[in-house]
Amino acid sequence: MLAGRTALVTGSSRNLGAVIAERLAAHGATVAVTYHGSQAAAEALVERLAGRGHVAVGGDLATDPAAVVRAALDALGGRVDVLVHNAGPFSMTPFLELGDAERDQVWDVNVKAAHVAVKLVAPAMRAAGWGRIVLLSAGSAALRNHSIYGLAKQAVEFLTAELALELGPEITVNAVAPRQIAESADDIAEFDAGFVERAIAHTPAGRLVTREEVAELVALLCGPAFDMVTGATLPIDGGWRLPRF
């Protein structure tokens, strides 16, 4: 499906980003894995990815996203066919308690870095006549108590639709919005011990989505079955989002 294509996955040394990198490689792409503080994990991931030519690129997406993207472009031979912006730090700090540094970190990595990355990779995609961009949103975009993180993910969904209008027809731009991911349940429990239990009870599917399921949807959005899907935010949450009385 992606044989001969190159892919950049931000924030991909571990967790969901690493699984996305694995799925894109399994579908034939040559992948640039990015990391901030997890160089060893990124290099280990590159070694185990299917195929050849994968690279690990370090840098700080909060302070200099352009440097990270340019380094990935150089390492991939000057072009990125698939961009997946997965990096996105989380926060539940109430707005009146939210410090400037935390606010900027969450906003800059989730939103600003996405914009910067697209500006750098889109020209070559358009010149080649093909490109796929997938941004990671979250179920938090629909909530009003996830602070700057929810605001940032709403901005990601707006950016997705706006970019789809600007970059077609050569490039499709979509977002994926998972709810709480099963493998990250322990992380959210540090903020709210009862959150996972409530989330499962509220989900028609009766369980949480897995990283593999999210990663496969990201990969499929880059394939021919989704050529006519652009500007969409696809929820992958087992029906959690559905309103009920």
Contact indicator for 37, 62 with CB cutoff of 8 Å: no
Cis bond before residue 169 (omega within 30° of 0): yes
Residue 189 pLDDT: 79
Marked catalytic residue, from 35, 112, 119, 153: 153
> Is residue 240 a part of any domain in this protein?
no
* pLDDT at 168 exceeding the cut of 90: yes
pLDDT digits (tens, 9 = 90+) for 110-136: 999 999 999 999 999 999 999 999 999
Contact indicator for 2, 82 with CB cutoff of 8 Å: yes
> Is residue 189 a part of any domain in this protein?
no
> Is residue 70 a part of any domain in this protein?
yes
Please list, in sequence order, all residues whose beta carbon lies within 8 angstroms of the beta carbon of residue 119, skipping any fewer than 6 positions away. none
Q: Is 153 a catalytic residue?
A: yes
Mean pLDDT for the stretch of residues 6-20: 98
CA angle 240, 244, 245 (to 5 degrees): 150
> Is residue 198 a part of any domain in this protein?
no
Tell me the pTM: 0.97
Computed over its alpha carbons, how large is the radius of gyration of the chain?
Answer: 17
**Exposure string (b/e) for 91-113, b if CB count within 10 Å is 16 or more?**
bbbeeeeeeeeebebbbbbbbbb
Q: Minimal CA–CA distance to 54: which of 71, 36, 31? A: 31
Q: What is the CATH number of the domain that holds 87?
A: 3.40.50.720
Domain with 134 in it: 6-182+211-231
> 191: pLDDT confidence band, cut at 50, 70 and 90?
confident
Q: Is 112 a catalytic residue?
A: no
Cα distances from 16 to residues 48, 91, 119, 145, 189, in angstroms, run: 16, 17, 24, 23, 18
Identify the DSSP state of 101. Answer: H
> Is residue 242 a part of any domain in this protein?
no
Marked catalytic residue, from 35, 112, 119, 149: 149
Residue 244 pLDDT: 86
pLDDT digits (tens, 9 = 90+) for 194-208: 889 999 999 999 999
Please list, in sequence order, all residues whose beta carbon lies within 8 angstroms of the beta carbon of residue 56, skipping any fewer than 6 positions away. 13, 32, 33, 34, 35, 39, 42, 43, 45, 46
* pLDDT at 4 exceeding the cut of 90: yes
Mean pLDDT for the stretch of residues 174-187: 94
Mean pLDDT for the stretch of residues 67-85: 98
Domain count across the chain: 1
pLDDT above 70: percentage of residues in the chain: 100
> Is residue 93 a part of any domain in this protein?
yes
> Is residue 199 a part of any domain in this protein?
no
> Is residue 222 a part of any domain in this protein?
yes
